[in-house]
């Protein structure tokens, strides 16, 4: 079974949906953010001490490491910032975009301080969302709307729509 990659903005539920999808699709689950924390420490500290660009290199390193078969991979919202990440995902599996409205992201994240790029003014957050949205859309093999849906329902939606070769 080929690997499934979950992409989407911060707060779109990639980690929780990945956990449900792991059970429903009988795959293993890895989260690139968690892999980075395990190897390099807290994300906020990496941003502060080494900068975003180093964090992006760690992301690519993790993505290159995940198996092409039998996994669900939850990515960080900024995985689309590097073109080489697009290729790594496109060439190795199915890309699923968790499409969450900005209003819903605002409600879900509130004033979360663990995400460095969320700790900006509202207009800067929205600009980031607007800039990335078309990139998620164009990369996705499947787009799933997530507003007002629970993670288990989203995972069930994905399972129903998986192409036969990925089941």
Question: Using the rule CB under 6 A, is 108 a contact of ligand S3P?
Answer: no
Cβ contact 84:60 at 8 Å: yes
Between 33 and 99, CB nearer to ligand S3P = 33
Distance CA(80)–CA(76), nearest Å, equals 9
Helix then strand then coil, in percent of the chain rounded to 5, is 60, 15, 25
Q: Which residue reads 């990945």 in tokens? A: 18
Between 24 and 115, CB nearer to ligand S3P = 115
Question: Using the rule CB under 6 A, is 67 a contact of ligand S3P?
Answer: no
Q: Edge-to-edge strand order for the sheet containing 28-31?
A: 28-31, 71-74, 3-7, 93-99, 142-145
Q: Least distance from C-beta 41 to ligand S3P, angstroms?
A: 13
Q: Least distance from C-beta 114 to ligand S3P, angstroms?
A: 8
Between 51 and 163, CB nearer to ligand S3P = 51
Q: Least distance from C-beta 83 to ligand S3P, angstroms?
A: 15
Span interacting with ligand S3P, options 18-26, 60-68, 70-78, 142-150, rule CB under 6 A: 70-78
Judged by CB under 6 A, the chain residues 71 through 90 that form the site for ligand S3P are: 76-78
Q: Tell me the CA distances in angstroms from 167 to 27, 132, 155, one per residue in order.
A: 10, 29, 13
Neighbours of 70 (CB within 10 A): 13
Q: Least distance from C-beta 65 to ligand S3P, angstroms?
A: 16
Between 67 and 116, CB nearer to ligand S3P = 116
Flag whether 114 is marked binding: no
Q: Least distance from C-beta 24 to ligand S3P, angstroms?
A: 20
Between 33 and 104, CB nearer to ligand S3P = 33
Distance CA(152)–CA(70), nearest Å, equals 20
């Amino acid at each position: 079974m080929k690997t499934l990659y979950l992409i989407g903005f911060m707060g779109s539920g990639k980690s929780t949906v990945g956990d449900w999808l792991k059970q429903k699709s009988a795959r293993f689950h890895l989260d690139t953010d968690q892999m980075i924390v395990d190897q390099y420490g807290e994300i906020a500290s990496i941003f502060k001490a080494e900068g975003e660009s180093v964090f992006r290199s760690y992301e690519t390193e993790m993505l290159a490491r995940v198996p092409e078969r039998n996994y669900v991979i939850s990515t960080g919202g900024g995985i689309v910032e590097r073109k080489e990440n697009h290729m790594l995902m496109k060439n190795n599996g199915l890309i699923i975009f968790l499409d969450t409205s900005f209003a819903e992201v605002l409600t879900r994240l509130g004033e979360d301080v663990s995400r460095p790029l969320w700790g900006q003014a509202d207009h800067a957050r929205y600009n980031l969302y607007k800039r990335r949205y078309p990139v998620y859309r164009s990369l996705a093999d499947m787009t799933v709307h997530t507003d007002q849906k629970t993670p288990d329902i989203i995972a069930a939606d994905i399972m129903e729509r998986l192409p036969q070769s990925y089941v």
